[in-house]
Amino acid sequence: GAARNRPQRLRAYQRGEDEAYLRRLFLVERLKRALVRDDGALFLTYQPKLDLARGRIDRVEALVRWVDDEHGFISPDEFVPLAEQSGLIIKLTRWVVRSVLRQLALWNASGLHLGVAINVSAQDICHEQFIDSLLHELRESGVRHEQVTLEITERDLMDNEALAVEQLTALKAAGFRIAVDDYGVGYSSLSKLKQLPVDELKIDKSFILQLPESEQDQNIVSSTIELGHKLGLKVVAEGVETSAGLDLLRAMRCDSVQGYHLARPMSAEDLTQWYASYAQTA
């Protein structure tokens, strides 16, 4: 019965814990290696954002991908937190920034003028060299400040409030756009939001995925959009998977949308082609 099962279950549990721990250790080592070698295991994908008022693709979000020789595809939802816990995030973000700006410079040169959003963590922006190295990379690439949006999650921001707000203020003063990512799942109050030096709210996809079916999500999203606008912010919805969702967001005066309905994240080459055919039909 129960008494006999318990030690066994405990052992199984511990074994599971050990395995998870070993996997984390292993992944951190592999990630370190991937960053040093820069041999294609890490690469970037880009997902377009549609500006609803203009009916134009004006920005893309850069999303990092990692395919390890041994472990195959590893989700950024798994390895980005590991990079944060192990301190590797500084190097990872530096790699992302450099690679994204290089790509943006190529697009600029070919006459394709897109803005790009880069995901950063509070650790990144609080790092003393972050702004300098970002400015350095900008100069090297010839990309303009206003082409770059930095996305930081609401939760990350609130967990590191004092320092993060100070750094964001400096970044905004330097000319970068700032977006609060995954908005709505954190716990920032209205008064906090007002004090933050941000340009854009990105409503978390958990409120968007079932938008057409959920009256509750519709209420939350429409009031978030109104609130954002009252605070002078642009509001973006991520996770738009259906035309019904898109129609609702348009009616709610959402500023931009991003999601599988429009396009999945894709390689730079695929995005260039996708954009050309999209621009033709639009």
**DSSP element (H, E) containing 193:** helix 190-195
**Site membership for ligand C2E, residue 265 (CB under 6 A):** yes
Please answer whether residues 75 and 18 qualify as being in contact, where contact means their C-beta atoms are separated by less than 8 angstroms. Answer: no
Query: Which residue number, 75 or 191, has a Cβ lying nearer to ligand C2E?
Result: 75
Q: How far is the CB of 14 from Mg ion (least distance, A)?
A: 31
Residues of span 153-192 touching ligand C2E by CB under 6 A: 181-182
Q: How far is the CB of 142 from ligand C2E (least distance, A)?
A: 22
Short-list 61, 90, 9, 31, CA closest to 237: 61
**Site membership for ligand C2E, residue 200 (CB under 6 A):** no
Please answer whether residues 196 and 165 qualify as being in contact, where contact means their C-beta atoms are separated by less than 8 angstroms. Answer: yes
H-type alpha helices, 75-141: 76-86, 89-109, 122-126, 130-141
**Site membership for ligand C2E, residue 96 (CB under 6 A):** yes
Q: How far is the CB of 50 from ligand C2E (least distance, A)?
A: 12
What tokens appear for 94 in the block? 């530096």
**Site membership for ligand C2E, residue 51 (CB under 6 A):** no
* Residue where the block lists tokens 């377009």: 48
Tell me how many degrees the CA angle 244-210-257 measures, rounded to the nearest 5: 60
Please answer whether residues 115 and 147 qualify as being in contact, where contact means their C-beta atoms are separated by less than 8 angstroms. Answer: yes
- Chain residues in the site for Mg ion (CB under 5 A): 119, 151, 181-182, 238
Residue of 201, 238, 254, 275 interacting with ligand C2E (CB under 6 A):
238
Query: Which residue number, 10 or 118, has a Cβ lying nearer to ligand C2E?
Result: 118
241: partner contacted, choices ligand C2E, Mg ion, none (Cβ within 5-8 A by kind): ligand C2E
Short-list 156, 103, 95, 83, CA closest to 125: 156
Query: Which residue number, 32 or 185, has a Cβ lying nearer to Mg ion?
Result: 185
Q: How far is the CB of 74 from ligand C2E (least distance, A)?
A: 10
Q: How far is the CB of 208 from ligand C2E (least distance, A)?
A: 8
Residue of 42, 52, 74, 121 interacting with ligand C2E (CB under 6 A):
121
Please answer whether residues 190 and 219 qualify as being in contact, where contact means their C-beta atoms are separated by less than 8 angstroms. Answer: no
**Site membership for ligand C2E, residue 80 (CB under 6 A):** yes
Q: Crossing angle of helices 2-37/76-86, nearest 10°?
A: 80
Residue of 154, 259, 268, 274 interacting with ligand C2E (CB under 6 A):
259
